[in-house]
A = this chain, B = another copy of it.
Amino acid sequence: MTGCPTALEAARRIADGSLTSEALVRACLDRIGEREPLVQAWQHLDMDAALNMARHLDQFGSGPLKGIPIGIKDIIDTADVPTGYGSPLYETFRPPRDAACVALARHAGALILGKTVTTEFAYFQPGKTRNPHNPDRTPGGSSSGSAAAVASGMVPLAFGTQTAGSVIRPASFCGCAGYKPTFGLIDRTGVRPFADSLDTVGVFATTIEDAAFFASIIAGRPNLRIANDVFRPRIGLTRSHAWEAAEPATATALDEAAARLRAAGLEVCEVALPERWRGLLAAQKTIMAFEAARSHAPEMLTVSDRLSVKLRELLKDGALIAPDDYDAAKALVAEARAGFSDVLDGLDVLLTPSAPGEAPEGLGATGDPVFNRIWTALGVPCISVPGLTGPTGMPVGVQVVGRWGDDRRALAASAAIGQSLS
Per the bound structure, the CA–CA distance linking A296 and B103 in Å amounts to 9
| Closest-CB distance, A39 to chain B (whole angstroms) | 30
| Interface contact B106-A301, CB-CB below 8 Å | yes
Once A107-B301, A196-B188, A295-B189 are accepted as A-B contacts, the answer to whether A90 and B100 lie under 8 Å apart by CB is no
CA distance in complex: A23, B219 (Å): 53
A290 to chain B: closest CB distance in Å? 9
The digit string for A166-200, where 1 denotes a CB below 8 A from any CB of B, is: 00000000000000000010011110010011000
Q: Check if A37 is an interface residue, CB within 8 A of chain B.
A: no
Once the chains are docked, how many angstroms separate the CA of A319 from the CA of B220?
9
CB nearest neighbor in B for A302: B103
B93 near A96 with CB under 8 A, answer: yes
Residue of B nearest to A321 (CB): B220
Interface on A for B, CB 8 Å cutoff?
79, 90, 93, 96-100, 102-104, 106-107, 184, 187-190, 193, 196-197, 219-221, 223, 291, 294-299, 301-302, 319, 323, 327, 330, 338, 405
- Give chain B nearest CB distance to A78 CB in angstroms: 10
Cα–Cα, bound, A394→B95 (Å): 43
- Shortest A334–chain B CB gap in Å is 9
Other-chain residue from B103, B220, B223, B338 in contact with A301 (beta carbon distance below 8 A): B103
Neighbour of A221 across the interface among B104, B220, B323, CB < 8 A:
B323
Report the minimal beta-carbon distance from A41 to chain B, rounded to whole angstroms: 25
Q: Is the CB of B298 within 8 A of A103?
A: yes
A sample of 25 cross-chain residue pairs with beta-carbon separation below 8 angstroms, ordered by A number, consists of: A79-B298, A90-B96, A93-B96, A97-B299, A98-B298, A99-B298, A103-B297, A103-B301, A104-B297, A106-B301, A107-B297, A107-B301, A184-B196, A184-B197, A187-B196, A187-B291, A187-B295, A187-B297, A189-B294, A189-B298, A190-B298, A220-B319, A220-B323, A221-B323, A223-B323
